């Protein structure tokens, strides 16, 4: 059994047919002490969400564009 998905344009390099096993629910997190970071709420300017960047920690070229690791 498989599903054929309509993928977004940016994911056209993927084959659109997936086995049903890929759609099973993820198991509960086995690491109970793990904490997720709480991100500050965005600042809304001209109906667009923006965040204040404290520092750029790293950057690299990925799929034809830069990606930044920010604090």
CA 62 distance to own-chain centroid: 14
The full set of domain ranges for the chain reads 2-25+42-70
The whole-model pTM stands at 0.36
- Predicted pLDDT at 23: 84
Q: How far apart are CA 50 and CA 38, in angstroms?
A: 16
Q: How far apart are the two ends of the chain, measured CA to CA in Å?
A: 44
pLDDT per residue as tens, the chain (71 positions): 899 999 898 888 999 999 988 888 878 877 777 777 777 888 898 989 888 888 999 999 988 899 998 88
- Predicted pLDDT at 4: 92
With beta carbons less than 8 A apart as the criterion, state whether 42 and 58 touch: no
């Amino acid at each position: 059994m498989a599903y054929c998905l309509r993928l977004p344009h940016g994911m056209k390099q993927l084959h659109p047919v997936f086995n049903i096993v890929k759609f099973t629910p993820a198991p509960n997190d086995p690491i109970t002490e793990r904490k997720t970071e709480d991100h500050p709420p965005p600042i809304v300017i001209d109906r667009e969400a923006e965040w204040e960047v404290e520092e750029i920690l790293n950057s690299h070229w990925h799929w034809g564009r830069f990606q930044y690791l920010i604090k």
